Amino acid sequence: MILSVSNIDKAFNDVPVLRNVSFHIEDNEKAAVVGVNGAGKTTLLKIIMGELAADSGTVTLSRDRTIGYLSQHDAVSGDNTIYDELLCVKQDLIDLEYRMRSVELQMKTASEETLEKLMDSYTALTHAFESGGGYAYKSELTGVLKGLGFAEEEFTRRVSTLSGGQKTRVALGKLLLQKPDLIILDEPTNHLDMSSITWLETYLLNYKGAVIVVSHDRYFLDRIAAKIIELDHTKATVFTGSYSDYAAKKEILRAAQYNAYMKQQQEIKHQEEVIEKLRSFNREKSIRRAESREKKLDKVELLEKPSEVRADMRLKLEPRYESGNDVLHVEDLSKSFGDLVLFERLCFDVKKGEHVAIIGDNGTGKTTILKMINGLLAPDEGAIRLGANVAIGYYDQEQQMLHRDKTLFEEISDDYRTLTNTEIRNTLAAFLFTGEDVFKQIKTLSGGERGRVSLAKLMLSEANFLILDEPTNHLDILSKEILEDALNAYTGTVLYVSHDRYFINRTASRILDLNRRVLTNYLGDYEYYLSKREEQLALIDTSGTTASTVPDSGHADTSRQDWQARKEQQAARRKKENDLKKCEERIEYLEKRNEEIDALMASPEVCTDAAKLQELHQERETSGAELNELYEKWELLSE
């Protein structure tokens, strides 16, 4: 065991953030800490590093072990070049090499008497240099820089001239080269493109040390983590296995907890109704029975309502009307900025009902394509044509479509003038903006909050063609899952840019890869893209063509079948949702009718009418039996 975290408690202003948090990390183990925004993940990492004191509990690092930490906002500074900044990590090897060269010079002119001592010293220095990786450190350093997305011509750039994201990448490179026994990384993929993230995954998987990572990149977590530490409502739960294993187990636990909670609530309600009814008889025997039930009810240990029932943010995407089958046609599209050529003569089509993801490294022009389709940027050459009855809904990753000086309420009311004040408030409440929140100005919101406002407007648009630019940016994992479910249930057409591979794998039926100024078409999900990518890139290198490359028809047929199966699953799910809604409406009607019957049976006009009482009693019995069946049906449907 390399790290032990035992019974950690932490509160801020008397509000608990962590309570009795315990777990351990074994040698060479790869673990992830997950939880919604604000769950205390970064706080926990800072306590482990000693940057923040716990209120109680202990953190123990094994003796003679080293630990390295990269926070979300760590960056390098100074006037070193990028290469020299990383080179300083290997200063001990540089010093050894200098001493070796010095001894070599001394050996050339040494007498026989001192030569033997110099040779012994040289042997020891050479051994230390070799065992420390002295003959490989320069190539290792170059490999790390290239892996993190720096081109060789950038190695001589000064750190002071870099952007914040580039400085963070340099800081990550320095940490990896230090090779501590335990690496702790807080959101390491935030400033990396897909190629760099893939490289980092491979590096960490092969790393001869332990790793703890906090990340919202579920695909990244799935690749590297074999243990998941979940922080939820101040408590920690440890799951063994990958992120997908954790997600499946968590969903089962969540459903079981929710069902247990609902059953208990139903039983409590039933018992309270019985107690009230017994008391209403106003007889000594019935009152004693009511008191007995009341005592039993008081002793019941109440279950807490599960924290993540997937009902926090409510997002439902539905087109107002259908588009034609041909949604988008792009032909010979070219774009340059000065001497920088992004792409030339790109061609692709999007058909009704497709979910298409555009992927590629940073700076290849993905967002530019979306802006041109939306008419926000003019192409240098080429044509963009929308099909019949196409209504676009656009999600901008920079939220430039939002008006900074407007309030949330104004942002919705000005664009959707037919909505009443109550409808606007209900819409904003569905995206977690309640009370006075609706009068906040857009410019005061966080990135995640602005993203939720943009999603609210997207939902209200009722568009049949959604164009999304990095829609999962700033969203926590739960919100991403809600968005994924909404898109998978959406019957319109979707075209989006994303670097979130888990999101792509769940929502895309086709992928367009923008690489080396070429747009390559893959008829499948992200896993299929990975299996075919190297083969297609080799084909591009060989032919030098700029035309779209279509994968083999065999997989295309399979992909279409998979897409059809997914659509059928979505239709079945929608039917169950409708059945659930009808079930809930019937339960509500019967419960209301039972209250009316109870009132009638207690009324002076009816309680003396034996025939009427018998009729109402029979109706009450019948509706009670139906309610019991409906409760069971509701439980099955809700699962």
Helices (H), 3-65: 41-48
**Could you tell me the two tokens for 396?**
């901008």
Residue 638 is part of a domain; what is its CATH number? 1.10.287
**pLDDT of 156 over the 60 cut:** yes
Phi, psi of 528 (to 5 degrees): -65, -40
pLDDT at 173: 92
What are the b/e assignments for 601-636, b being 16+ CB within 10 Å?
eeeeebeeeeeeeeebeeebeebeeebeebeebbee
pLDDT level of residue 57 (50, 70, 90 thresholds) = very high
Mean pLDDT of the chain: 85
**pLDDT of 547 over the 50 cut:** no
My answer on whether 341 and 370 are in the same domain is: yes
pLDDT level of residue 546 (50, 70, 90 thresholds) = very low
Residue 425 is part of a domain; what is its CATH number? 3.40.50.300
Q: How many domains does the chain have?
A: 4
Comparing C-alpha atoms, which of 524, 526, 585 is closest to residue 557? 524
Q: What's the mean pLDDT in 72-78?
A: 76
Provide the 10 A C-beta neighbour count for residue 275: 20
Give, as one character, the DSSP assignment of residue 337: E
Q: Lowest-pLDDT range, 117-121, 444-448, 633-637?
A: 633-637
Q: How crowded is the C-beta side of 207, counted as CA atoms within 13 Å? A: 29
The more confident residue out of 274 and 417 is 417
Q: What's the mean pLDDT in 198-215?
A: 93
My answer on whether 257 and 230 are in the same domain is: no
**Could you tell me the two tokens for 584?**
């809930």
Residue 368 lies in a domain: yes
pLDDT at 636: 64
pLDDT at 560: 52
Q: Lowest-pLDDT range, 142-146, 172-176, 288-292, 474-478?
A: 474-478
My answer on whether 345 and 377 are in the same domain is: yes
**pLDDT of 154 over the 70 cut:** yes
Beta carbons within 8 Å of 419's beta carbon, 6+ residues apart: 412, 413, 427, 460
pLDDT level of residue 226 (50, 70, 90 thresholds) = very high
Rg (CA), the chain: 32
My answer on whether 344 and 235 are in the same domain is: no
Residue 445 lies in a domain: yes
Give, as one character, the DSSP assignment of residue 158: B
Rounded to whole angstroms, the Cα distance separating 218 from 500 reads 8
**pLDDT of 205 over the 60 cut:** yes
Residue 152 lies in a domain: no
Look at residue 416 and give its three-state secondary structure.
Answer: coil
My answer on whether 339 and 456 are in the same domain is: yes
Phi, psi of 19 (to 5 degrees): -135, 120
Residue 104 lies in a domain: no
Residue 385 parent element (H or E) = strand 381-386
The more confident residue out of 567 and 546 is 567
pLDDT at 252: 85
pLDDT level of residue 364 (50, 70, 90 thresholds) = confident
Residue 71 lies in a domain: no
Residue 156 lies in a domain: no
**pTM for this structure?**
0.67
Beta carbons within 8 Å of 49's beta carbon, 6+ residues apart: 67, 69, 184
| Residue 3, strand partner residues | 25, 61
Of 552, 567, 582, which one is at a domain's C-terminal end? 567
Sign of CA dihedral 564, 568, 570, 574: positive
**pLDDT of 597 over the 90 cut:** no
Helices (H) then strands (E): counts for the chain:
20, 18
Residue with tokens 């968005």: 483
Domain encompassing residue 347: 326-567
Cα distances (Å, whole numbers) of residue 199 to 145, 206, 211, 536: 11, 11, 16, 19
Beta carbons within 8 Å of 170's beta carbon, 6+ residues apart: 75, 76, 82, 85, 86, 148, 159, 162
**pLDDT of 450 over the 90 cut:** no
My answer on whether 470 and 385 are in the same domain is: yes
- Per residue in 1-53, pLDDT tens? 999 999 999 999 989 999 999 999 999 999 999 988 778 999 999 999 999 99
Residue 315 lies in a domain: no
**Could you tell me the two tokens for 446?**
């966080």
Q: Lowest-pLDDT range, 420-434, 500-514, 561-575?
A: 561-575
- Per residue in 390-413, pLDDT tens? 999 998 877 777 888 999 999 999
| Residue 10, strand partner residues | 18
Give, as one character, the DSSP assignment of residue 355: E
My answer on whether 558 and 587 are in the same domain is: no
Look at residue 514 and give its three-state secondary structure.
Answer: strand
Q: In this structure, are residues 118 and 103 in contact, taking their beta carbons and an 8 Å threshold?
A: yes
Residue 542 lies in a domain: yes
pLDDT at 17: 93
- 400 burial (CB, 10 Å; 0-12 / 13-18 / 19+) is exposed
pLDDT at 556: 46
pLDDT level of residue 281 (50, 70, 90 thresholds) = low
pLDDT level of residue 555 (50, 70, 90 thresholds) = very low
**pLDDT of 276 over the 60 cut:** yes
Cα distances (Å, whole numbers) of residue 67 to 2, 27, 98, 107, 173: 10, 12, 28, 40, 15
pLDDT level of residue 310 (50, 70, 90 thresholds) = very low
Beta-strand pair 340-351/326-337: antiparallel
**pLDDT of 303 over the 50 cut:** yes
My answer on whether 451 and 341 are in the same domain is: yes
Of 546, 567, 588, which one is at a domain's C-terminal end? 567
pLDDT level of residue 216 (50, 70, 90 thresholds) = confident
Of 547, 567, 587, which one is at a domain's C-terminal end? 567
End-to-end CA distance of the chain: 40
My answer on whether 356 and 470 are in the same domain is: yes
Question: DSSP per residue over 67-135, as a string?
Answer: EEEE-TT----SS-BHHHHHHGGGHHHHHHHHHHHHHHHHHHH--HHHHHHHHHHHHHHHHHHHHTTTT
My answer on whether 223 and 337 are in the same domain is: no
Phi-psi region of 568 (alpha: psi -120 to 50; beta: other; left: phi over 0): alpha
Q: C-alpha 484: how far from its chain's center?
A: 10
Overall residue count recorded for the chain in this entry: 639
pLDDT at 558: 52
Give, as one character, the DSSP assignment of residue 407: B
My answer on whether 627 and 533 are in the same domain is: no
pLDDT at 382: 93
What are the b/e assignments for 411-423, b being 16+ CB within 10 Å?
bbbeeeeeeeeee
Q: Where are the beta strands (DSSP E) in 437-554?
A: 465-469, 493-497, 510-515, 518-522
My answer on whether 426 and 297 are in the same domain is: no
pLDDT at 632: 66
